[in-house]
Structure 1
Amino acid sequence: MVLTVHHLQVSQSERIVWLCEELGLHYDLKLYQRAPLLSPPKYLALHPLGAAPVIEDGGDVTLAESAACADYIIHIHGGGRLSVRPGDPGYVDYLYWFHFANGTLQPALGRLMMLRAAGVSEDNNIRYRTTNKLKQCLEYLDRRLGETAAWVAGQDFTASDIMLVFSLTTMRMFCPLDLGPYRNVLAYLRRVAGREGYRRAMGKGDPELKVDELISAHGPMLFPALVK
């Protein structure tokens, strides 16, 4: 059976669509719109938490979580491409940055998003510490990209880049963020936008989103369901 990717539009499941495009895989893409902000009932039927992404494979595999889905596809369908094998040069960098997005950067963005939604003032100590933590993450990432002047794990494009980019682009529809101070991050996003695989993935999975806005310093417009 063909690998099926269930993509909740305007969500981190864009990573899996992009991965499949970069690997040149034959896959079945099913699209779901948010209703109006969270997962629709059909998507909830795939996973009780409404988690995105969800993939199905062979009739006996149903898997959620971005990193798990990416790892599965890379090794089951991709022959290990876009990863670095244990023991090979650059493996530790690849492993760290592969998990940096959902382990550090995305949680920082999520906390700030929730504090803003709750109306917590900017001078609140918790919000201040959260904002400062995010700033530290971005400064660290910017230094890293300045060192490599290429991709986040080194000179080669890998799945660690695929894991990272959502947090710097589409996620800003939910948590607006000015990337103007981070010139290396912006240069990196321009390199991402130059990849045919990324353009194809966004065109198939989220055709209403404009890549040039996603990678800009000011970022995309706020997600419509959040506009008051």
Structure 2
Amino acid sequence: MADSELKPTLHHLNNSQSQRILWLLEELDIPYNLSLHKRGESGPNKARAPPELKETHPLGKAPQLETADGRVVVESLVIARYLIETYDKSGKFRGDSAANDWIRDDELCNLASATISAPMTLELVFNLLVQSSPFFIRPLVSVIHKQVYKAFTGPELDLYFQYLNDQLGDQDYFMGTSPGRADFIISWPVDMCVQNQFVDLEKYPKLAVWSRRCQDRPAWKRSMEKGNGYSLQFKL
């Protein structure tokens, strides 16, 4: 059996949430294969995932992890759990105390992946609507967007970001002295909201320090070098 077949393979898409899985792989410091894919740069598939991702999984999304035994795993929460349970032999990324247990990990992961996604996605859709509207109705769409942000998406995002800020407490990471699955999963919605200016991260000082601490880690820097872009400001 070829050596490459014994390693997991990450199918990584630029400017996407698979960046957090690439970061996790670098933190685990294990041999792995990296298959880079790029979003469409023009035409009807601009900014969309390329068709070849459907060759490995029918949904055609990223991240996709091909395990060493050939199984294709999708969904970041599941991939992160699989990688940590399979390769984190020392337990470094599983929480460092009774308080930082699997229940806390699951709660924070689901908050990041499901709860925050609703207002975040709505903000993204409105941003794209404003960009794509004909110039003569763009001011009206922009006014509607501002009202939705003021009445709903802004307060919701503030609620969740303040909660995350408070959950850090005096810890360096959500799962203690080292990042855990929750830290990897939370990183993407935080980056998405910050890069698109849905939130002002400096309003949440502990969360702002946490974000900088994550991005100062050598593994994060290596993942940025090995990936192919992480700009989350989608433009039509």
Matched-pair identity in %: 25
Asked if residue 151 in structure 1 is aligned to residue 173 in structure 2, the reply is: yes
CA distance in 2 between counterparts of 1:7 and 1:88 reads 34
Tell me how far 1:74 sits from its aligned partner.
1.1
CA distance in 2, matches of 1:60, 1:221: 30
More relative contact order, 1 or 2 (CA 8 Å, 6+ apart) = 2
The 5 A counterparts of 1:1-228 are 1-36=6-41, 37-79=47-89, 80-84=91-95, 88-91=98-101, 92-119=103-130, 120=141, 121-125=144-148, 128-145=151-168, 147-170=169-192, 172-173=194-195, 176-206=198-228, 208-209=229-230, 222-223=233-234, 226=235
The DSSP-based 3-state class of the residue aligned with 1:5 is strand
Structure in which a larger fraction of residues adopt helix: 2
Q: Give unpaired runs (5+ residues) of structure 1.
A: 210-219
TM-score (norm 2): 0.78
* 1:131 to partner: Cα distance: 2.3
**Matched residues, number:** 212
Return the offset for 1:140: 1.4
Kindly name which structure, 1 or 2, has the bigger radius of gyration based on alpha carbons.
Answer: 2
Query: 1:25-70: per-residue Cα shift (whole Å, max 9, x none)?
Result: 1000111010131100112322222221101023430010000111
What RMSD, in angstroms, separates the aligned Cα atoms of the two structures?
2.6
Following the alignment from structure 1 to structure 2, what is the Cα–Cα distance between the partners of residues 199 and 20?
12
Amino acid of the residue matched to residue 29 of structure 1?
A: L
**Which runs of no fewer than 5 residues in structure 2 stay unpaired?**
1-5, 42-46, 131-140
Shift of 1:23: 0.7
2: CA distance between counterparts of 1:131 and 1:170?
14
SS of the equivalent of 2:153 reads: helix
- State how far apart, in whole Å, the 1-side matches of 2:54 and 2:233 are: 24
For residue 82 of structure 1, what is the amino acid of its counterpart?
Answer: F
**CA 1:123–1:28: 2 relative to 1, 3 Å:** closer
Instruction: Note closer, same or farther for the CA distance 1:17–1:179 as it changes in structure 2 (3 Å cut).
Output: same
